[in-house]
Amino acid sequence: MNNNKVFPILLLFILTISLVSFAQEMSSEAGKLYNEGNSQLKAGNYNGAISNYDKALAIEKDYRIYYQKGVAQKKANDLTGSKASLEECIKLKGDFEPGYNALGGVYFSMGNYTEAINKFEKVLTLSNNASVTKKVKKNLSLAYTKLGNDQISQGNAPKAVEYLTKAVENDNYDAAYLSLAKLYSELGEWDKCISASENALKNKSKITSGGPNFYMGVAYKGKGDNQKAKEMFEKAKQDATYKKTAEYELGLLN
């Protein structure tokens, strides 16, 4: 499941196209190069686009040119260059929400989820657009899930719960609920495990149903409801990933 890039790239593309009309506000020479860069970017010629943006920037230091250059650099997998361009963009215009969103996407792709969260949250303070807010919250949920799973791998359960809870507060992300279910099952917090598992199933998009059913089985077993536990393990064993562990648990209950 490749969650890292799908949404940030999608939103960047939408904002890229929307900025084309602003070229007339630049000097004619810079605007011509800017529009040519945008055409190259749309056509997938990222290096050509960057070259035109550099020429435009040599004439005029405009936040929109830096923004578009940052977008092109990210698409060309030059994350360090993209980060530098987008930082210049927001230095020139501190209330430019697409710049913060794009920079958040770059930090996310670099694995710096804390900084990604900072930039996405900045967008929320600037935007009055409900559609943008909803999409940025999805990004926040992805970033908090990454932080939560990192804390699980480090054995820091309280911090993992904190981050994963923030993830589902921003968006009903099925993978975050599944991570919470697994974590609560290990902590022996059975009711919370069942609730997280049910939410994972309710909002299932990328995950399979085996995980939530398995962890509900663990929780019901922990609560002493063996009949319900068997029911959940029977469902879980239909999923190849959980088949062996579910069958093992069923063997213990028989």
In the predicted model, is pLDDT for residue 199 greater than 50?
A: yes
In the predicted model, is pLDDT for residue 83 greater than 60?
A: yes
Residue 2 confidence (pLDDT)? 36
In the chain the domains, ranked by start, together with CATH numbers, are 1-132 (1.25.40.10)
Residue 150 confidence (pLDDT)? 96
Residue 137 confidence (pLDDT)? 96
Residue 23 confidence (pLDDT)? 54
140 in Cβ contact with 40 (< 8 Å): no
What is the pLDDT averaged over residues 222-244?
Answer: 97
Residue 24 confidence (pLDDT)? 54
Residue 26 pLDDT level (bands cut at 50, 70, 90): confident
pTM: 0.88
Please state, for a pLDDT cut of 90, what percent of the chain lies above it.
Answer: 88
